Amino acid sequence: MSEYDPIARLYDPWSASVVEDVSFYVEEALASGGPVVELGVGTGRIAIPTAAAGVAVIGVDSSQGMLEVCAEQARAAGVAGLLDLRLGDLRHPPVDEQVPLVTCPFRAYLHLASDAERLVALAAARSLLRPGGRLIFDVFMPSREDIEETHGRWIEREPGIDERADWDTEAQTLTLSVRGAAGESTMQLSWLEPARWHALLVEAGFEVAACYGWFDRRPYRGGEDSVWIAHVRK
């Protein structure tokens, strides 16, 4: 059972305000020519617009509930034929195909709890890439202000949906709780400094082509979010 199963029907209303990354990932999918493997595909927030743009997506997720919602929404959007949804772990994705683009949007790599897990996941992504292919993902690292403002408080994130962040700055973990009429859950996320992500990518055999500070491709200059484009080192 995934911690996302109880909130599969809450996830889209909870993340309703997160829209800034969609066109970025769709553009990258179009540029790659597809198919795209999306690790942690969730309810298809990115995968469905990607398929609607004509690019086939293999979506991997460890939550059966999230995949069910994704499948329903893909059918409703008329793109089910371009979405191949697979239940599985992003550290060992059930994918034999080689693709030009692997993505892991909206911080799904923060579900990895140790460098060992991160290296396994990055190596798995690397093994799916065709020569010249790219891995694109985004992660975050909280600012001190963010931690001070939110720590240990239930905050209404969307109407009727409350979120609580319990930060452990020493362990660099966030215990994130969410509750609403459609479900509730608590999950743990782990963050790293961007320099650590860079080092892990290199250790996993990637070369970093770009590290942006936002989805408009501005260079990373020390904010909370970082967006990575990496290709397999020759």
CA pair distance 99, 96, nearest whole angstrom: 10
Examine residue 40 and tell whether it contacts ligand SAM (CB under 6 A).
Answer: yes
Examine residue 41 and tell whether it contacts ligand SAM (CB under 6 A).
Answer: yes
Nearest to 178 by CA among 9, 8, 12, 14: 14
The CB-of-67 to ligand SAM minimum distance in angstroms stands at: 8
Peptide bond into 219 cis (omega under 30): no
Examine residue 179 and tell whether it contacts ligand SAM (CB under 6 A).
Answer: no
Examine residue 107 and tell whether it contacts ligand SAM (CB under 6 A).
Answer: yes
Scanning 38-46, 72-80, 135-143, 168-176 for contacts with ligand SAM by CB under 6 A, the matching segment is: 38-46
Among 35, 56, 61, 133, binds ligand SAM (CB under 6 A): 61
The CB-of-4 to ligand SAM minimum distance in angstroms stands at: 4
The CB-of-89 to ligand SAM minimum distance in angstroms stands at: 4
Examine residue 133 and tell whether it contacts ligand SAM (CB under 6 A).
Answer: no
Name the residue number minimizing CB distance to ligand SAM: 42
- What would the DSSP string read from start to end of 169-216? TTTTEEEEEEEETTEEEEEEEE---HHHHHHHHHHTTEEEEEEESSTT
| Cα R_g (the chain), whole angstroms | 17
Residue 57: in which H helix or E strand, if any? strand 57-61
What residues make contact with ligand SAM under the rule CB under 6 A? 2, 4, 40-42, 45-46, 60-63, 66, 89-91, 105-108, 111
